[in-house]
Each structure stands twice: as C-alpha cells, then as structure tokens.
Amino acid sequence: MCPDDPRLAPGARIARSGVLIRVTTMADTRSSLLRRVGDPGDGAGWREFDAIYRPLLMRYAQQRGADAELAEDVAQECLLAVSKQIARFERRRSFRAYLRAIVDHKLCDALAKKHGPTGVSEETLAELRDPSPVPSELWVRHWNEGVARMLVGRLRGTFATHTLTAFEMYVLDERPVGEICETLGMTANQVYVAKSRVARHLRENCADLVEALYGVWS
C-alpha cells in the first residue's frame, strides 16, 4: 500500500486540505502584481490578475447561493471595483480581506436584488454583511484553492499532463481515487505518487516562484 494512501488515516479529506494549506502559506497578494494591475498600460498584468481571481470569485459566489449567471455578474462587478479602487489600496492591508469585503458586498446586493429579502436566508445575508476582519472558512478555502490552481498551472511542462491532472483531481477537486484511475488510466498507487511528487515540488519551490511572479504573499 502506498505511504500516501488516505486509507491509512481516518482524516483523508483533512489530509488533502493540508496539502493546500502547506503550499499556500503565502496566500495574500502584496506587491508586484498589484502594482501591475494599478498600471493602466499593463494589459498583460490585468489579464493575469483576471485569470487568477475571476474563477475564485465565481466559485465563491456559487457556494454562497448564486447561480452561474449571477456568479459571473458578481465576479465582473468585483473586478471592475478592483480596477477602480486599486490605486487607493493600502499596501499594509491584507488583499485577501480587501477582496473578500468587495465580493461579500457585491454578492449580498446581487442576491437581495434577484431573490428579494425573503428569497435568501437571513443567515447568508448576515454573514455577507459581517464587517469582521476575520475571513470566513469558506472564503479562505476558495482563496487557498485559487492560489494552488495558479501554482499548479505554472508547472505545465515540468510534470507530465496526467501527473498534474491526477493531483488536481485528487487534491483540488477531491474526486474519488477510483474515478481518477478510470478517467486517466492510472493505478491507485500512481495517483498517490503523482500527488506526493507535485505536493513536494510545490512545498520546496512555491515560495520562490510566487515571490518572483507576484512579490511577497503573506
């Protein structure tokens, strides 16, 4: 049995999440990418920012009750708000908390407008209105997943396609091992080995990679 076989421990899902936590300890954007986004002439910087954060915002919105169309609208509104406000963003603040405040505000308004005050649970609206600086577990999970997907995307060409796909399906999508084996034509042991190889590479290299690409993340 492979040493990474989740059957060895009862907390298999926690172990998968632990991979995300270990490889995204620098999960807050700071300097270089934000400076590029604030430069109206840097279209490439904005496209890179959009590619990272639009999917994150959409997944979070859908988890909070938006359908696909509304989630796309909310993500677009958030990105528009960032483009207008980024020049005033205080570098000492957490960008993760800053973006969460924007998406919660936009999502709260969108859900209330579409469904009316009785069409959305009061608990959901109360959470979205909560000005607490402590991020929700859901937001942190989506944030870490977004960072991890970005990092994995940077490894195209470093690992075989099926190795990265196995890692994404197992760790990020939390798909059953049997399904991954059937989809990719791999054995269970090969899936666990792929997960271990990619996770080890991310742990050993992601800090330098992220700092080089995006400045300091915290």
* Residue 90: pLDDT band with limits 50, 70, 90: low
pLDDT tens digit sequence for 144-168? 777 778 788 878 888 999 999 999 9
Mean predicted confidence (pLDDT) in 49-53: 85
* Residue 124: pLDDT band with limits 50, 70, 90: low
pLDDT surpassing 70 at residue 132: no
Among residues 107, 123, 153, which one ends one of the domains? 153
Q: What total of structural domains would you count in the chain?
A: 2
Q: Note whether residue 218 is domain-resident.
A: no
Q: Are residues 35 and 104 in the same domain?
A: yes
Give the pTM.
0.63
Torsion of CA 182, 188, 190, 194, to 10 degrees: 90
Strand partners, 156: 159
Q: Which residues contact 193 (CB under 8 A, 6 or more apart)?
A: 2, 4
Mean predicted confidence (pLDDT) in 71-89: 89
CA 136 to chain centre: 14
Q: Note whether residue 147 is domain-resident.
A: yes
Q: Are residues 142 and 208 in the same domain?
A: no
pLDDT at 109: 87
HEC per residue, 115-130: HCCCCCCHHHHHHHHC
pLDDT at 4: 37
CA 216 – CA 218 distance, rounded (Å): 7
* Residue 15: pLDDT band with limits 50, 70, 90: very low
Q: Are residues 122 and 196 in the same domain?
A: no
Residue-range definition of the domain harbouring residue 131: 31-153
* Residue 72: pLDDT band with limits 50, 70, 90: very high
Q: Note whether residue 177 is domain-resident.
A: yes
* Residue 92: pLDDT band with limits 50, 70, 90: low
Q: Note whether residue 121 is domain-resident.
A: yes
